[in-house]
Amino acid sequence: MPDGGALDCVVGDCVDGVLLDRRQKSVVARLSGHRDFSFACSFSPDGRLVATGSQDSSARVYDVRWPQQTLATLCGYMGAMRVVKFSGDGRFLLAAEPADYVHIYDTQTFGLAQDIAFMGETSGAAFSPDSNCLFVGISDALHGSGLAEFTSIDAHGIVDML
């Protein structure tokens, strides 16, 4: 959790994620709703939201104050959501599939702001600390490997490739 907060999120070989209170050394809540194992989790910068990415091709967003209910379910196209990350300013959430797609969502509405499609396996994705750039690692034997940088995130969440 940001700023040394007391909550941690744990996902793995279980359909439910778990919110843990580090200070109390106890389970605060189970994050339910996924239909398959989860791979990734991320807290929003203010610590109010947590997102999880799952093998079931979805990302789910929970409000940590009411974690019993999913706030938003964000569906992918082809595969597991292996990376979920909030932008540093908290305006956007990215969810990356293992190949070909990175989805960017507006965190006010959780509507899709933009899909970024490319050829290759996704090896990682993250926003820059100032939230002005998006980086996508691509690792693919057929199409080559590299780092794609997208810049100029505007008020609508639209990014341009540099």
Token pair belonging to 47: 């610590």
CA distance 64 to 123: 28
What is the distance between the alpha carbons of residues 103 and 29, in angstroms, rounded to a whole number? 27
Q: For the CA atoms of 32, 35, 38, 40, what is the dihedral angle to 10 degrees? A: -70
pLDDT at 162: 44
pLDDT in tens, 65-123: 999 999 999 999 999 999 999 999 999 999 999 988 999 999 999 988 889 988 888 98
The β-bridge relationship of strands 83-86 and 92-96 is: antiparallel
The residue with tokens 């209910």 is: 69
Contact 43, 50 (CB under 8 A): yes
Spatial distance between the Cα atoms of 6 and 40, rounded to a whole number of angstroms: 19
Instruction: Provide the whole-model pTM.
Output: 0.88
By percentage, how much of the chain surpasses pLDDT 70? 91
Q: Rounded to whole angstroms, how far apart are CA atoms 117 and 30?
A: 33
Q: Quote the CA–CA distance of 34 and 151 in Å, as a whole number.
A: 32
What per-residue confidence (pLDDT) applies to 158? Answer: 56
Q: Does 139 or 154 have the greater pLDDT score?
A: 139
Which candidate, 73, 92, 2, places its Cα nearest to that of 31? 73
Q: Pick the residue with more confidence: 2 or 58?
A: 58
